[in-house]
Amino acid sequence: MDFRKAGLRETEYEEIKRVLGREPNECELRIMGVMWSEHCSYKSTKHLLKLFPNEGERVVLGPGENAGIVDLGEGLGAAFKVESHNHPSAVAPYQGAATGVGGIIRDILALGARPVASLDGLFFGDPERARTRTLASGIVHGVGGYGNAVGVPTVGGKTVYDPCYNENPLLNAFCIGLIPLDEIVSSRTARPGQAVVLLGSKTGRDGIAGAAFASVELSEDNKASRPSIQIGDPFAEKLLIEACLEMKEKKLIVSMQDMGAAGIISSSSEVAAKSGVGMILHFDKVPLRAENMEPWEIALSESQERMLLIVDRPRLSEVMKIAEKWELDCAEFGETVEGDEYTILFHGERAASLPATLIGDRCPQIHWPSRRPADLEARWTFDVEDIPLPQDWNEALLSLLSSPSLASKESIYEHYDSMVQLNTVVGPGHPVNMLRIKGRDSLIAMTLDADPWKCSLDPFRGGAETVARSVRDLAVSGARAAGLTDCLNFPSPEVPEQYWVLEECVKGMAEACAAFNCPVVSGNVSLYNESPEGAILPTPVVGTVGIVPSTDATLSSGSWEEGDVLFLVGPCNPSLGGSRYLLSQGRLEGRPLPFSPEAEKDFVERALKTASSKAAHSGRAISGGGLAAALAKESMESGVGAAAAVPVPTRKDVFLFGEGGARALYAVPMSRVPLFKTLWSGYPCIPVGRAGGDSLSVEGAFSLPVAKLLTKWRGR
Amino acid sequence: METHLLPGRRGGREVIHRVSIFIELQEGVLDIQGKAVERSLVSLGHETLRSVKVGKYIQVWVEGESAEAARREAERMCDDLLVNGVIEQFRIEVEGE
Amino acid sequence: MNTAVVVFPGSNCDQDVMHAVAETLGTKVRAVWHRETALPADTDLVILPGGFSFGDYLRCGAMAARSPIMKAVAAHGKRGGLLLGICNGFQILTESELLPGALLPNRTLDFICRPCFLRVENVSNPFTANFSKGQCVQFPIAHGDGLYTLPESELKTLEERGGVVFRYCSPDGQAEDESNPNGSANNIAGIVNEGGNILGLMPHPERASDPLLGGADGRVFWRSLFDAYRKGGR
């Protein structure tokens, strides 16, 4: 078989031959082709990901594991990760989304953690297009259909619309789980002489070579790609969750791995390589549900709802009993051995024999050429004088609020069960989502964020801003960011300008992470998100997790009360460059503000103190849509209007719609104003108005009844 | 074809019958799916459409001495589980009958 | 009052219910696996929790209703024991014919999860005795198949005998179509049997049992059961 047909590059083929000391057979070629695809090996980005800081005092487990874990204190850890399922969602939106959710849940489960919440990152094209509506509907129903049935609440997310996603929708699924630190199941603890066990659904031909599919651009005729789609069964996954956790409680599991991309081969070789053991697998013992499957098909199948377990022989019967109770297939199909050899036997024949470490780890890195886009400065050229002030301020605000990316997402999240498991303190529709931890005072705060437009204008600044936005949101709510997980959604790295953008985004994100002491504990990369219609904007997504010591130390959004003084903290010179306001006029230009580490860190400390000392009734960090959007959202959520004014000589539209920098809008009761001013003394802080009445008005700009804002924003 | 044919339980040379069970909502029960499908088809231009009913189609492969025996067994399955007598009705077709 | 919560493969609100009851009442709550053939001997209240038992495959609650434990659950209900079905549990009770009617897919054909106002119509049963008639309470809903249906004549009988316990309503207590989230006949959200000991409802009282999570009307519901149990030994 030609190595190219297996998806291998010449250098990769040569490296395999060199290590093996012989020609690989067809089964081995197919296996290596998938395991060394971009999706599985991260060959184009591994060296870039090393730029992320991944250590910190709360980091228990960093990148390279099933998920990252941060210490929540008192012996409890939070495991979390975000993963993309973009290409499958473009071809079969419901199942692509469903299996994306299922896959990330299993990653969390593989550490022995109970999945407690999900967030969904959705990136759709132009909503006027029928195709976008079809894709969006399928994806949303897939997220809900799977998440609701499996009993993991979807408590928040991020939904973005832009024409660049027309044929390349993105689905980033984030999941978080809880695990006592002394019960973490590792993939490094297998020893020779143990049993390799497959638990879960039978293996079929689903998604064969799907991992390689994720690394290929979508062709004109994506109907032909259909056989590669996996089908998800949330009922089976719920049984799998309960069975695995029961086995973990009884300490029956030595090591565990979820079967996602490249199923059996990926999970088993990873455990082998990380534990430093070899494996002999008998593929004829794998429970199958399709006929005449070849060894390479069994190896690469992406049938869902399966886990790989390493079990001590004496405890196998107990494992089987639990599997039987939950009516899951459970089969011992191999053993761990000394050494590094990974062998697949099939009906007495040796189908493949490769070093375990070669399969998952030693793919030659690719350093694609990188070139700064020639038109970068041109994009930044932006004269604010070119932008006319709004003719009708009210229309301008309403239009911004009803723009697809800013409008209420209630029609999406009301399809998600956000309450199951009884931990949701702040659910969907808020800047930060919060979970309580039963039996404790502390809460977990989370947010999912992205800003592809700023990333496309200035990748370094955009990457930093993406991280900064999430950390600011958490700080205003009272949570200190403990760690984040990232998903890098980008087009092809083989175009030098696009590769440069990827590099710069990562560098910007890394700088912000370092400044905030917020390490990257896990993550995912999805490249080749483009089609003949075009490439997506650079879309790094971050899922940031923080901890609040008690409900007392939280500050909610949307809690204005009559008479509160409204304060804007932060620089008064934001930028319209890359702002939602300009975008809503069809313009993507300007240069986002630079990342100022000292100011950002200062902001975080003061925001945390504001929350813990209860110096305000309500707070919201300024992000998409600028101060105007923040005023409107606070007002709508509170049900209270405001009388505000622009107290500085800055152009009104820049002041109201500009974005960038560490800024927030607070509503402070009269009695707490002196305390508030003290907490923010030394940082830009100006009063901008008072809350009250049933209209939101800014002198010389807009004035609208709150009820009208709500109707337009909710679209119903 | 991926079917889960169980091994013969009673030994012997029983014939396997394929039985088709068509389940639909009883008259008078609100068929929301049917209505939704009807609206979609009409909006796609199917002007001759008058009505849509959405139901279920279940196939069971049953060992039996005769088609009649297989039919009776299928009816018992409907009573036991497959059909909710409060809101559904059904009819059966045995292959080869 | 000892509570048994039945767990089916796919149930996902069982632990929530156990937590809410234990937290509110401090009484003993036990999980019972669907394959058991008997309930614990001293069981006073049996709860069938929400979730997607058997994946909601074939029909919601259809296979769960035929689980081994259901014989014992039915016997408990038939001899007057307290039996509560929440959401999927309500579906299981109708499939078991322990309550009349059936639950169809929501008229929007979509799953919906949101807070929900309910009017308490009947307080002459142990579940709602601690509420007042006509009181407006808030329990969240989260379901895709909550449209309660019953043939016209049976519906009349149900209403006349006071079998409707909860009705979907507006925040100020109006049971109009606008406040009906799923198209249920007569805005019916929960019903009780003639004996007053078997209640099925689509909304989730266990999700309204903690002010931190958005509401505590559920606590009145659990207390009501406990007080009735203590009074009448039912």
Looking up residue A712, the CATH number of its domain turns out to be: 3.90.650.10
Give the pLDDT of residue A685: 97
User: Is A209 a domain residue?
Assistant: yes
Among A149, A238, A414, the residue with its CB nearest the CB of C113 is A414
Interatomic CA distance for residues C58 and C43, integer angstroms: 31
Search chain A and give the residue with CA nearest B3: A289
Residues A174 and A64 in one domain: yes
Interatomic CA distance for residues A86 and A170, integer angstroms: 5
CB contact under 8 Å between A417 and C13, yes or no, is no
Six-digit token string for A558: 């949307």
Give the pLDDT of residue B12: 56
Residues A619 and A642 in one domain: yes
- Whether pLDDT at C70 is above 70: yes
Give the pLDDT of residue A262: 87
Give the pLDDT of residue A572: 82
- Whether pLDDT at A222 is above 60: no
In tens, the pLDDT along B47-92 reads 999 999 999 999 999 998 899 999 999 999 999 999 999 999 999 9
Provide the shortest C-alpha distance from residue C194 to chain B (in Å): 19
In tens, the pLDDT along A586-601 reads 899 999 999 999 999 9
What are the start-end ranges of the H helices in A442-549?
Answer: 452-457, 459-477, 496-516
Task: Lowest mean pLDDT of A3-12, A215-224, A422-431, name the range.
Answer: A215-224
Residues A284 and A320 in one domain: yes
CATH superfamily of B15-94: Phosphoribosylformylglycinamidine synthase subunit PurS (3.30.1280.10)
The parent domain of residue A202 ranges over 185-215+225-362
| ipTM for the whole complex | 0.97
Give the pLDDT of residue A361: 82
In tens, the pLDDT along A469-504 reads 999 999 999 999 999 999 999 999 999 999 999 999
In tens, the pLDDT along A628-643 reads 999 999 999 999 999 9
Among B33, B80, B82, the residue with its CB nearest the CB of C105 is B33
> Which one of A199-213, A571-585, C119-133 scores highest in mean pLDDT?
C119-133
User: Is A594 a domain residue?
Assistant: yes
Please report the sign of the dihedral spanned by the C-alpha atoms of residue A96, residue A97, residue A100, residue A102.
Answer: negative
DSSP A508: H
Side-chain-side CA neighbours of residue C114 (13 Å): 18
Interatomic CA distance for residues A35 and A29, integer angstroms: 10
Please confirm, yes or no, whether C95 is among the known catalytic residues. Answer: no
Mean pLDDT of A693-711: 97
C142 φψ region: left (φ > 0), alpha (ψ -120 to 50), beta (else): beta
Mean pLDDT of A616-631: 97
The per-residue pLDDT of chain A, averaged, comes to: 94
Residues A166 and A209 in one domain: no
Give the pLDDT of residue A225: 47
The domain locations on chain B are: 15-94
Please confirm, yes or no, whether A87 is among the known catalytic residues. Answer: no
Confidence of residue B96 (pLDDT cuts 50, 70, 90): confident
* Any C CB within 8 A of B86 CB: yes
Convert A5-29 to b/e letters by CB count within 10 Å (16 or more is b): ebbbbeebbebbeeebeeebbebbb
Interatomic CA distance for residues A41 and A47, integer angstroms: 12
Confidence of residue A228 (pLDDT cuts 50, 70, 90): low
Mean pLDDT of A303-320: 97
Confidence of residue C95 (pLDDT cuts 50, 70, 90): very high
Confidence of residue A362 (pLDDT cuts 50, 70, 90): confident
Give the pLDDT of residue A214: 55
Interatomic CA distance for residues A403 and A489, integer angstroms: 23
User: Is A93 a domain residue?
Assistant: no
Confidence of residue A676 (pLDDT cuts 50, 70, 90): very high
User: Is A591 a domain residue?
Assistant: yes
Confidence of residue A226 (pLDDT cuts 50, 70, 90): very low
- Whether pLDDT at A224 is above 80: no
Six-digit token string for B52: 């849509």
Give the pLDDT of residue C226: 96
Q: Chain C: list its partners (3+ Cβ pairs within 8 Å).
A: A, B
- Whether pLDDT at A218 is above 70: no
Among C12, C20, C57, the residue with its CB nearest the CB of A238 is C12
Name every chain C residue with its beta carbon within 8 A of the beta carbon of A416: 113
- Angle at A370 (CA atoms; ends A365, A371), nearest 5 degrees: 175
Catalytic-labelled residue, pool A39, A282, A430, A617: A39
**Ordered structural domains, chain C, with CATH:** 3-232 (3.40.50.880)
Six-digit token string for A633: 């959202």
Name every chain B residue with its beta carbon within 8 A of the beta carbon of C58: 81-82
Residues A207 and A171 in one domain: no
Task: Give yes or no for a contact between C94 and B86, defined as CB atoms under 8 angstroms apart.
Answer: yes
What are the start-end ranges of the H helices in C46-200?
Answer: 62-65, 70-78, 88-95, 152-160
User: Is A295 a domain residue?
Assistant: yes
Residues A541 and A583 in one domain: no
Partner residues linked to C234 by β-bridges? none
Task: Give yes or no for a contact between C43 and C83, defined as CB atoms under 8 angstroms apart.
Answer: no
For B59, the enclosing helix (H) or strand (E) is: strand B56-64
Partner residues linked to A71 by β-bridges? A77
Residues A492 and A523 in one domain: yes
Residues A289 and A252 in one domain: yes
Provide the shortest C-alpha distance from residue C188 to chain A (in Å): 21
Provide the shortest C-alpha distance from residue B95 to chain C (in Å): 23
Confidence of residue A213 (pLDDT cuts 50, 70, 90): low
Residues A510 and A588 in one domain: no
Provide the shortest C-alpha distance from residue A290 to chain B (in Å): 6
Q: What percent of chain B is modeled with pLDDT above 70?
A: 85
Q: Which of residues 71-100 of C touch B (CB under 8 A)?
A: 94-95, 97
Residues A296 and A325 in one domain: yes
Name every chain B residue with its beta carbon within 8 A of the beta carbon of C98: none
Q: How far is CA A456 from CA A48, A207, A578, in A?
A: 18, 32, 9
Residues contacting A591, CB < 8 A, separation 6+:
A379, A380, A382, A457, A458, A461, A575, A577, A578
Give the pLDDT of residue A220: 47
Confidence of residue A716 (pLDDT cuts 50, 70, 90): confident
Residues A577 and A657 in one domain: yes
Residues A324 and A189 in one domain: yes
In tens, the pLDDT along A64-113 reads 889 999 999 999 999 999 999 999 999 999 999 999 999 999 999 999 99
3-state SS assignment for residue A269: helix
Distance, first Cα to last Cα, chain B: 24
In tens, the pLDDT along B2-41 reads 344 555 555 555 789 999 999 999 988 889 889 889 988 9
Mean pLDDT of A360-389: 92
* Any B CB within 8 A of C151 CB: yes
Mean pLDDT of A305-323: 97
Query: What is the domain-level CATH number for residue A168?
Result: 3.30.1330.10
Search chain B and give the residue with CA nearest A291: B2
Catalytic-labelled residue, pool C13, C60, C87, C116: C87
* Any C CB within 8 A of B57 CB: no
CB contact under 8 Å between C183 and B84, yes or no, is no
- Angle at C180 (CA atoms; ends C177, C181), nearest 5 degrees: 140
Interatomic CA distance for residues A203 and A534, integer angstroms: 36
Partner residues linked to A520 by β-bridges? A484
User: Is A23 a domain residue?
Assistant: no
User: Is A32 a domain residue?
Assistant: no
Convert A608-630 to b/e letters by CB count within 10 Å (16 or more is b): bbbbbeebbbbbbbbbbbbbbbb
The pTM score is 0.94
